[in-house]
């Protein structure tokens, strides 16, 4: 199959599945993103183990990540008391005790990378349920903010790419990603802010100024998320994080912008739009 056709077909299916799962029902949303966390954390731990001769607690780390996401999902729906989050403390301590009995080389590196996988992948996705249930008075299922967030992520990626290949000359961060340019970054931001005004016409959960602010946050921290993932791949000497998405690489390649931008978008919405 032609490479461009394969990439386009994969991208179309990816978008349809993601948008459909977000809009259809809270359960479809929760199952999809729990699955994405499993795939993303598996990619991360497999890369670390292969390239660094380190043995993170892959299955426990993935289980912890899925449970964390499930807990935030239930808490966002007002089904779970926030006091139960204190259980995270002994659970993290348990990773040290498990490592004590594993008898693997580099034990503290194993623990560190296990926790890093949780922080880098599971935690950012665990902010999304709070965008889904933004209305803390009714706790009603309102997918518009999450959907708008992804639309702006995709807009920024596309706008930056098109601007970069057209007029990009000045490297944005040559040491990590030589192909990214300041022109692409600025073009991506302009595209994203413009589309945020269109998004605000369909989603009234945030006003147009708030959507513009979210767009600016995505433009900045989405690119930084891409650069952080590029830094990870360079440190491991790999081109793609995986090959699960033909023509697009791995899960981390597709969601790298989310991993850094979601904490900042969540924080902005909680502080300035409630």
| Predicted model pTM | 0.92
41 versus 78: the higher-pLDDT residue is 41
Q: What is the pLDDT of residue 134?
A: 84
- Whether 121 contacts 184, CB under 8 Å: no
Tell me the per-residue pLDDT of 97-115, one tens digit each, with 9 for 90 and over: 999 999 888 899 999 999 9
Band of pLDDT at residue 248, cut at 50, 70 and 90: low
User: Given CA atoms 214, 154, 264, 204 in this order, what sign does their dihedral have?
Assistant: positive
If phi > 0 it is left, if psi is from -120 to 50 it is alpha, else beta; for residue 180 that is beta
Confidence of residue 2 (pLDDT cuts 50, 70, 90): low
| Confidence bin at 30 (pLDDT 50/70/90) | very high
List all residues 6 or more positions away from 83 whose beta carbon is below 8 Å from its beta carbon: none
Distance between CA atoms of residues 33 and 125, nearest Å? 7
């Amino acid at each position: 199959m032609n490479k461009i056709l394969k990439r386009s077909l994969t991208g179309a299916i990816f978008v349809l599945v993601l948008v459909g799962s977000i809009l259809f029902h809270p359960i479809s949303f929760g199952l999809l993103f729990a699955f994405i966390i499993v795939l993303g954390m598996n990619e991360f731990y497999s890369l670390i183990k292969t390239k660094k001769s380190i043995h993170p607690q892959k299955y426990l780390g993935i289980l912890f990540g899925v449970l964390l996401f499930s807990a935030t999902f239930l808490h966002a729906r007002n089904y779970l008391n926030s006091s139960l989050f204190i259980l995270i403390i002994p659970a993290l301590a348990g990773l040290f005790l498990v490592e004590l009995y594993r008898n693997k080389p580099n034990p503290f590196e194993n623990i560190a990378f296990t926790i890093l996988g949780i922080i880098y992948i599971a935690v950012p996705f665990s902010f999304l349920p709070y965008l889904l249930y933004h209305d803390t008075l009714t706790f009603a299922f309102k997918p518009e903010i999450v959907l708008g967030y992804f639309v702006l992520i995709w807009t920024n990626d596309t706008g930056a790419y098109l601007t970069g290949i057209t007029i990009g000359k000045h490297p944005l961060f040559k040491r990590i990603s030589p192909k990214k340019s300041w022109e692409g970054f600025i073009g991506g931001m302009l595209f994203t802010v413009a589309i945020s005004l269109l998004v605000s016409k369909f989603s009234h959960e945030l006003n147009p100024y708030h959507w513009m602010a979210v767009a600016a946050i995505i433009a900045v921290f989405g690119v930084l998320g891409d650069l952080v993932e590029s830094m990870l791949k360079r440190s491991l000497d790999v081109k793609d994080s995986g090959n699960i998405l033909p023509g697009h690489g791995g899960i981390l390649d597709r969601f790298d912008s989310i991993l850094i931008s979601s904490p900042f978008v969540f924080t902005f919405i909680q502080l300035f739009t409630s």
